[in-house]
Structure 1
Amino acid sequence: MKRIGALLVILFLTKMAFAQNHIIPLWEGTPPLQKEMDLKEEAVQEGILRISNVQKPTIEVYLPTKQIATGEAIVIFPGGGYGILAYDWEGTDFAKWLNSQGIAGIVVKYRLPISKSLTDPKEVPLLDSQRAIRLVRQHASEWNINPDRVGIMGFSAGGHLASTLSTQYDHSIDRDQDSIDQLSARPDFSILVYPVITFNDRFTHGGSKKNLLGESPDPELVKRFSNELNVNENTPPTFLVHAQDDQAVPLENSTLYYQALHANQVKASLHIYPTGGHGFAFGMGRVAVESWRDTLLDWIKNLE
């Protein structure tokens, strides 16, 4: 009997553990702006889980226990230059950490614009990001989330996507819509970690720009996706963090966005560390940036 009782406890705890995170498709059937092709998603685990050629975008939902839940949720966009997703390093690892702080973490496996199945690649990441935040609001009551406390977090190219969503949350394309599309896609706050912001040749990350817009993009598209040019008074409050010695995405990406936020009287917090390089994620082992998450938590707690 004792053995049976112990087994039941283990099964119960296992069920509870699985109940805390689950995966939901962003779209029913074939996603918008995509044609049916026999293409397969690829996932390679080499220290970091790198996912590419996403065909079925999803959100992976991690919920804190109700006893510590703050009601806040953060939708996470991993980076990878719009070519891959650093899915654990800048995604699920952070969702789990946020859970320990009482915050729901939702990781978006968004489609990447280099996929051959996409009919209008430049629009797809933004479309998936809008859908993700709307899905979170649709499930807010079920997931014990305050729909007015849904923020976003993006790393590197995922930071470009997060800043695009922050400035173009109401952008729409001609497509079939459903009831979820009636919900707001505006983030309540934004966290940008060593983000790509501008597509100005002087300061941009060339790989992200090429993968999203192609080899020789129209100047109007370059302007549209240079997000420092699209900030207005309705852009959400923003936390930015960057290392001065970032050799991949120049520091100016964050400073340009901060200046635009300040000029539009949007509350913003910019944190520049002398060292840390690019892609530091948690910052472990990179002394200068190891404490940036503590600073972030203080900022979240003081959001109005």
Structure 2
Amino acid sequence: MKIRYYLVMSTLLYGVNAIAQDTIMPLWPKDKIPNRIESDQSEEQVYEDILRISKVQEPIVEVYLPSKKNATGKAMLIFPGGGYGILAYDWEGTNIAKFLNGKGIAGIVVKYRLPSDKSQSEKWNVPLIDAQRAIRMVRSKAEEFNIEPDKIGIIGFSAGGHLASTLGTHFSEQVYEPVDETDALSARPDFMALLYPVITFVNSKKHSGSQKNLLGENPNRKMLEHFSNELQVTSDTPPTFLVHATDDEGVPVENSLLFFQALKDKNVSATMHIYPEGGHGFSLARKNSHLRGWTERLFEWTESLD
């Protein structure tokens, strides 16, 4: 396990010191990564306006913890989006973790493997494999991270929202063989937040790019239904918070509407905020004075779960 500590000293003008810490942990023992095929692929990182990561070979979690005095005992695993082709790693990952820290919530960014025919077998299961392992690992570290093992939620953006909703509806599905005692723990999130999520692959409002990257060119109907998460909701699906913009042309708002209706039909607690504008991929929406209010609504919702 790699641990990096950054000591951030404020200026003498303010006369205070602050410590920011992030912990990087591999999800798997190096020789026990499920569904991995040895290949010449290697991780790629490109930074322009945001950090885009692709071809992840060794998935990790990057843990950001609030100060103990501010800590609420809650944690959220963060799944960045990118159409299952890249991870918008800072925009929908580390930036979100830092925001959560400001609210006393541990933010854990999951750098999950993206589906690949070249480096994986059964690529459609690989993101879920990493997601299940990530929440089990965080649960196993609850005492170390100063969090409650029954207050561990997830948040996902776009295709990361599809992965989060897949975890929230397929958490009991065995998609890999256990590698250690961590895998005996529950993979069920205690609560779930989905931001402009990809949900369906059977409705006309689906996101075809995410479907192709996850399931391949010609998936059969059974596979499409299996990963259309509005069809997989049960009464045990975690309480869910949804945010979407009506004018989203990338992932139409109907994705969130379908999931909300499925939750309602199963009597699962659901909160949804639909904004008139914002498009797709707005992250914290700091430049939109109305839309950026979703972050406060999220925090209020997490407090209501107590």
Fold-level similarity (TM above 0.5): yes
2:80 is aligned to 78
Determine if contact 1:274/1:288 at 8 Å carries over to the other structure: no
Task: Kindly report which structure 2 residues correspond to 1:109-258, keeping only aligned pairs within 5 A, or say none.
Answer: 109-114=111-116, 116-173=118-175, 175-258=177-260
CA contact (8 A) 1:74 1:105 kept: yes
Greater helix content:
1
Does the 8 Å contact 1:131/1:185 carry over to 2? yes
**Which residue matches 1:4?**
none
Instruction: Answer yes or no: is the 8 Å Cα contact 1:34–1:118 preserved in 2.
Output: yes
* Distance in 2 separating the partners of 1:228 and 1:22: 34
Aligned to 1:270: 272
Could you state the TM-score of these two structures normalised by the residue count of structure 1? 0.93
Displacement, 1:286?
2.8
Is 1:22 the counterpart of 2:23? The answer is yes
In 1, Cα distance between the equivalents of 2:265 and 2:243?
A: 19
- Give identity over the alignment, percent: 56
What letter is aligned with 1:202?
A: S
Q: Evaluate the alpha carbon distance shift between residue 120 and residue 265 of structure 1 in structure 2; reply closer, same or farther with a 3 A threshold.
A: same
Q: What is the CA-CA distance between 1:288 and the residue it aligns to?
A: 3.5
Shift, 1:218, TM fit = 1.1
User: 1:65-105: per-residue Cα shift (whole Å, max 9, x none)?
Assistant: 00100000000000000000000000000101111111000
Shift of 1:203: 1.0
- Cα deviation digits, residues 121-150 of structure 1 (max 9, x gap): 000000000000001001000110100000
Is the CA contact (8 Å cut-off) linking 1:280 and 1:286 kept in structure 2?
A: no
TM-score, length-normalised on structure 2?
A: 0.93
Residues 174 and 183 of structure 1: CA distance in aligned 2, closer, same or farther (over 3 Å): closer
- Tell me, yes or no, if the aligned pair for 1:158 and 1:195 is still in contact at 8 Å: yes
User: Following the alignment from structure 2 to structure 1, what is the Cα–Cα distance between the partners of residues 234 and 146?
Assistant: 31
Unaligned stretches of 5+ in structure 2?
1-5, 11-16
Shift of the alpha carbon at 1:178?
1.6
Change (3 A) 1:147 1:23: same
1:216-246 per-position Cα deviation (integer Å, ceiling 9, x unaligned): 1011000000000000100000000000000
Deviates more, 1:164-173 or 1:83-92: 164-173
Unaligned 5+ residue runs, structure 1? Answer: 1-9
**SS of 1:276's equivalent?**
coil
Which residue in 2 is equivalent to 1:89? 91
Distance 2:9 2:141 in 1: 24
> Per-residue deviation at 1:289?
1.0
| Partners of 2:24 and 2:63 within 8 A in 1 | yes
CA RMSD, 1 decimal: 1.7
